[in-house]
A and B are shown apart, each in its own frame.
Chain A
Amino acid sequence: MDKFSVFSSRLVEKSENFTSGHRACQGCAEALAVRHVMKALGRDTVVAMSTGCMEIISSPLPLTSWRVPWIHNAFENSAAVISGCESGMKAMMRKGKIPAKKINFVAMGGDGATADIGMGALSGALERGHDMVYICYDNEAYMNTGIQRSSSTPYGASTTTSPAGKVSIGQHTQKKNMAQIAVAHNIPYVATACSSFPFDLMEKVKRAAETPGAAYVHVLSVCPTGWRIPTQDAIKYGRLAVDSCVFPLYEVIEGEYRLSYKPYKKLPLTEYLKGQGRFRHLTDKEIQMIQQRVDKDYERILRLSEEEK
């Protein structure tokens, strides 16, 4: 979809179901991702959202940014809440209390709510196979409360609870690969996306919503505040993450891998790391080590997607 460059942006959905005037930081690519996701989903959607940046900024008490039914729940249970909604709606449609039509049930959460706190509820919902979509907005730390590390924080990143210094390198564990965990549940649709590739993101969300059964979409959302980059560069860093293969974009449909974007020229990891304040303490040796791991992970995805062809 990337090739439809100029005029297609005038042809995408115009209505805004996640409206402007919310309180996100300048340059927030996560709010942008939510906006594109809501464009793709349309009005017939029920959203359950975990506590996190997007919940805080979109619903300060008398106001809301949401034009769809929206439930705020605790940190851990958005997947459980949406599976309850889906089952309830199914029962009411069966009894004829509401007219039968296609309604999208969507749970959303940040990386903390998905990979750390809500992991059990999410795993349960995926296993039960509800007709729902889970969307994880991954900004690689608990940004809302002040940049604490999560299990989705990449190796070497400095956060307030994993500060880099003389003794510590920063985050000393590897990033948890949530998309692969979702694939391991054998659900019909898993995808990774990034808000710097809006057409691709919208396509994937549409496909996830159309898929009967559980679907999982992992969206990399650049956070200028937490990644310590200039606010105008949020989109650029999303593209760099994909072009340097740190975050490959792929889909897994019924267990079959499909690479949705192959970088024209694979960029070295330094391109992605050098501008970010959270990585500025890394030495060449450490970057080399991370590069090896990135290459290995990317080659695995590449191999899996080529085997399917």
Chain B
Amino acid sequence: MEKITIKINGKDIEAVKDQSVLEAARENGIAIPALCSHPEIETQAGSCRVCLVEVSQNGRTRLVTSCNYPVRKGLEVRTDTDLVRRIRKGVVELLLSRTPDAPVIQKLARENGIEESRFFVDEGEHYRNRCIACSLCTQVCEEVVGVSAISMLDRGRDKSPGTPYLKPSQACIGCGACAYACPTEAISMTDEGETRKIWGKEFKMVTCSVCGKPYIPEAQVDWIVKTTGKDRAFFDKCPDHR
């Protein structure tokens, strides 16, 4: 916990060494937009590019993604220069051309003064619904849940998350953490009666022995029992009736 002082927008702020610039700025009330960053993930992918800031160190100035740029001594950060604004506008326009439907992206576009993307909106086979290919879902699946059921498939504009060969995954436990973490709400998860559908696989839900409410997929119970050694009988009842 080595404390150092850095400058953000000309203001001296105290930060912990190796903390990300984004975290340090947000703790001090300086707003930087970001989509794919999540504090629970160890290595931020920096793939949405919305959190770009200008950093100066040893006389060199360049643009970096603030979510994975570590705080170092003598760092000067600017979040409000014309260059940052121009590049961010371009980034958001690109995102908007990929996912014109996502409310989060639409809101971001409005905030940056964009009415319509000047780029081509492909509504054909490459139309990816709302996914911005930030890979936060795959990171959550690997680091938070620990099953690695999904990964990023393909390259280039076809890049998107999915199960291996787009077939129902053996590893997926149907917990829905990916759908929860997704910044653009692109992953569909539907609960109908005693089945849950996610990533093209159907999960049977465990029903509460008291109220009869289906509340957790069986595969998830298996996973929790396997990893924590908890008694299986504990999951017979839903959290309301334990």
- Say yes or no: is A95 at the interface (Cβ < 8 Å to chain B): no
With A6-B175, A10-B144, A243-B240 known to touch, is A265 a contact of B211 (CB < 8 Å)? yes
Question: Are A7's CB and B213's CB within 8 A?
Answer: no
In the complex, chain B residues whose CB is within 8 Å of the CB of A43: 26-27, 29
CA gap between A102 and B196 in the complex, in Å: 38
Interface string of A43-63 (1 = CB under 8 A from B): 110000000000000000000
CA gap between A149 and B224 in the complex, in Å: 46
Question: Are A5's CB and B212's CB within 8 A?
Answer: no
Question: Are B240's CB and A3's CB within 8 A?
Answer: no
- Say yes or no: is B83 at the interface (Cβ < 8 Å to chain A): no
Question: Are A4's CB and B176's CB within 8 A?
Answer: yes
Question: Are A5's CB and B211's CB within 8 A?
Answer: no
In the complex, chain B residues whose CB is within 8 Å of the CB of A236: 240
- Say yes or no: is B69 at the interface (Cβ < 8 Å to chain A): no
- Say yes or no: is B31 at the interface (Cβ < 8 Å to chain A): yes
- Say yes or no: is B231 at the interface (Cβ < 8 Å to chain A): no
Question: Are B31's CB and A101's CB within 8 A?
Answer: yes
Q: How far is the CB of B183 from chain A (nearest CB, A)?
A: 12
In the complex, chain A residues whose CB is within 8 Å of the CB of B212: 264-265
Interface extent on A, as a size class?
20 to 34
Contact of A11 among B26, B31, B40, B224 (CB under 8 A): B40
Q: How far is the CB of A238 from chain B (nearest CB, A)?
A: 10
Q: How far is the CB of A259 from chain B (nearest CB, A)?
A: 16
- Say yes or no: is B220 at the interface (Cβ < 8 Å to chain A): yes
Contact of A4 among B180, B211, B239 (CB under 8 A): B180
Which A residues between 84 and 116 are near B, CB-CB below 8 angstroms? 99, 101-102
CA gap between A101 and B189 in the complex, in Å: 34
- Say yes or no: is A161 at the interface (Cβ < 8 Å to chain B): no
Question: Are B176's CB and A8's CB within 8 A?
Answer: yes
Of all chain B residues, the one with the shortest Cβ separation from A239 is B240
In the complex, chain A residues whose CB is within 8 Å of the CB of B224: 6
- Say yes or no: is A309 at the interface (Cβ < 8 Å to chain B): no
In the complex, chain A residues whose CB is within 8 Å of the CB of B180: 4, 7-8, 11
In the complex, chain B residues whose CB is within 8 Å of the CB of A166: none
In the complex, chain B residues whose CB is within 8 Å of the CB of A10: 40, 144
Question: Are B177's CB and A11's CB within 8 A?
Answer: yes
With A3-B176, A6-B224 known to touch, is A265 a contact of B213 (CB < 8 Å)? yes
Question: Are A3's CB and B145's CB within 8 A?
Answer: no
In the complex, chain A residues whose CB is within 8 Å of the CB of B26: 43
CA gap between A5 and B27 in the complex, in Å: 29
- Say yes or no: is A285 at the interface (Cβ < 8 Å to chain B): no
CA gap between A244 and B224 in the complex, in Å: 30
Question: Are B220's CB and A44's CB within 8 A?
Answer: no
CA gap between A10 and B38 in the complex, in Å: 11
In the complex, chain B residues whose CB is within 8 Å of the CB of A6: 175, 216, 220, 224
Q: How far is the CB of B182 from chain A (nearest CB, A)?
A: 11
With A11-B144, A43-B26, A44-B31 known to touch, is A5 a contact of B40 (CB < 8 Å)? no
In the complex, chain B residues whose CB is within 8 Å of the CB of A265: 211-213
CA gap between A221 and B191 in the complex, in Å: 29
CA gap between A59 and B220 in the complex, in Å: 43
Interface string of B108-139 (1 = CB under 8 A from A): 00000000000000000000000000000000
Q: How far is the CB of B175 from chain A (nearest CB, A)?
A: 5
Interface string of A177-207 (1 = CB under 8 A from B): 0000000000000000000000000000000
Q: How far is the CB of A95 from chain B (nearest CB, A)?
A: 18
CA gap between A7 and B145 in the complex, in Å: 7
26 A-B interface contacts by CB (under 8 A): A3-B189, A4-B176, A4-B180, A5-B215, A5-B239, A6-B175, A6-B220, A7-B144, A7-B176, A7-B177, A8-B177, A8-B181, A10-B40, A11-B38, A11-B144, A11-B180, A43-B27, A44-B29, A44-B31, A102-B31, A236-B240, A239-B240, A243-B240, A264-B211, A264-B213, A265-B211
A-B pairs, top 10 by smallest CB distance, nearest first, are A264-B213, A7-B177, A8-B180, A4-B180, A4-B176, A239-B240, A7-B175, A7-B145, A265-B211, A101-B31
Other than the given A5-B215, A43-B29, 14 more pairs (CB < 8 A) read A3-B176, A4-B175, A4-B177, A6-B216, A7-B175, A7-B177, A8-B180, A10-B40, A14-B40, A44-B29, A44-B31, A239-B240, A264-B212, A265-B212
Please list the residues of chain B having a beta carbon within 8 angstroms of any beta carbon in chain A.
26-27, 29, 31, 38-40, 80, 140, 144-145, 175-177, 179-181, 189, 191, 196, 211-213, 215-216, 220, 224, 239-240
